[in-house]
Amino acid sequence: MSIRVKQDLSEITIQRSIQPQTISSNTTVNGSSIDLTTVASGKVRVVGIIGVGTRTDGTYAVKLQDSTDNSAFADLTTVVGDASNITAANTARRLTATAYRRYVRAVITSTSVTTGAQVSADIVVAGRP
């Protein structure tokens, strides 16, 4: 899913990185990557909106990563926002960062899971910072 909105001569794109799904074990979910060259060139402001819906147990760590080749990803280290672990139902984290490489994705890592939670992640690409 992709939604494009033009506002004040800058383009904003929202794309789903992690489809809504249930995590029922200790695992890492690497989201689908988003090709930033379809939106802008050079450094790009990205906002990850990562959420946990219905939750029975587990801890969920969230982060954003980028890559030059859509294969080897590294964590975005200059992130603004609440990157603390999610330990409650119906909770979201908003992480803002500047991506310098072509691809970006969301990542959710779950621990202490026996029955799990529903998770999803969207990435908002806001063009140049």
Q: Which two tokens stand for residue 35?
A: 């090709």
> For residue 27, what is the DSSP state?
E
Q: What is the pLDDT of residues 51-104, one digit of tens each?
A: 999 999 999 999 999 999 999 999 998 899 988 999 999 999 999 998 889 999
CATH number of the domain within which 8 lies: 2.60.120.1110
Total domain count for the chain?
1
Measuring CA to CA, which residue among 18, 95, 22, 20 is closest to residue 55? 22
Residues 125 and 13: beta-carbon distance below 8 Å? yes
Full-model pTM: 0.87
Percent of the chain with pLDDT over 70: 86
| Inter-CA distances, 124 with 21, 31, 69, 80, Å | 20, 14, 20, 14
Q: Which two tokens stand for residue 127?
A: 């063009």
Where in the sequence is the domain holding 60, given as residue range(s)? Answer: 2-125
